[in-house]
Amino acid sequence: MKRFKNITKQLVTLCLVMAMAITMLPQAAQARTIRKKMTLYVGGDYTYSSQLKASNIKSSNKKIVTAKKGKYDTSIDFVAKKAGKATVTCKLKGNPTTFDVTVKKPSISISMAATPKGYVLFSFKNKTKQTFDKITYKYTLKDKNGKVLKQNTEGICYLLAKKTTYYTMYITKDMAANIDYKKCTAKVMSASYEAGETYKDISSKVDLFAFDQEETESGFKFSVNVDNLSGKTAIGYY
């Protein structure tokens, strides 16, 4: 009887040890979801690139933003459709990743005015805090009767945040004489920038001056010298 009790005691002890061993087995590591924030503007596009293969790409609202695999397996192409918020989920080399995307409507006003020598002066006032690499815009030139004289969609690069950018377009003298600027229209179609880049205005550290001015039939011709004193590589316009 005593021997039976000892065997029973040993069996109970063994079961307890096995139960403890089972509960102490390492749990399978759960993949941590990575979250990233992104701001885009209506009509703009952005390619997210990484060193990890992207798969299972899905947008919670394709009316706001679409997303699909880019040119390479490690890239994702985003296109902003309309203002709003949406999430894009995917896996980067098996790791769950969520992009919290905010799409905004760009606040850029466009005005047009006549200049001498048959040019139209476009003024692009960027009211946002974002510098844009490029915008596309559609303009329509009309006469006093509302007849369309010229219509086109074009693009312009580098609109600084909270700044006004100017652009001139040549037209014929006959057209210039008939344009009624009160009836002309222009609107922004898209605005894009590199979502992962930081923009900084260094214009105060750039010296620019014109020389060798020469008057021609279409206006003045001159050369421009630009000295970048910031010590950093920069792109821009003048």
| CATH classification of the domain holding 38 | 2.60.40.1080
Higher pLDDT, 130 or 6: 130
3-state secondary structure of 15: helix
Give a yes or no: residue 25 inside a domain.
no
- Residue 135 burial (CB count, 10 A): 26
Mean pLDDT, range 29-37, rounded to an integer: 77
pLDDT value of position 125: 96
Are residues 89 and 69 located together in one domain of the fold?
yes
What tens digit of pLDDT does each residue of 84-105 get?
999 999 999 888 999 999 999 9
Number of domains in the chain: 3
Instruction: Indicate whether 209 belongs to any domain.
Output: yes
Spatial CB neighbours of 167, under 8 Å, sequence gap ≥ 6: 121, 122, 124, 156
Higher pLDDT, 41 or 2: 41
User: Residue 10: inside a domain, yes or no?
Assistant: no
Tell me, yes or no, whether 206 and 151 share the same domain: no
Task: Return the sign of the alpha-carbon dihedral for residues 152, 135, 126, 103.
Answer: positive
Boundary residue ending a domain (68, 86, 104): 104
Residue-wise pLDDT for 115-169, tens only, equals 877 889 999 999 998 888 889 999 999 999 999 999 999 998 888 889 999 999 9
Specify the range with the lowest mean pLDDT, choosing from 9-18, 51-60, 136-145: 9-18
Say whether both 125 and 137 belong to one domain: yes
pLDDT of residue 126: 94
> Is pLDDT at 217 greater than 70 in this prediction?
no
Residue-averaged pLDDT of the chain: 81
Q: Minimal CA–CA distance to 16: which of 24, 4, 26?
A: 24
Most distant CA atoms of the chain, gap in Å: 123
* Residue 21 pLDDT exceeds 60: no
CATH classification at residue 128: 2.60.40
Q: Could you give the percent of the chain with pLDDT greater than 70? A: 69
Write out the residue range of the structural domain in which residue 158 sits.
108-198
Same domain, 85 and 40: yes
Q: What pLDDT is stored for residue 12 in this prediction?
A: 46
Higher pLDDT, 169 or 194: 169
In a domain, 139, yes or no: yes
164 part of a folded domain: yes
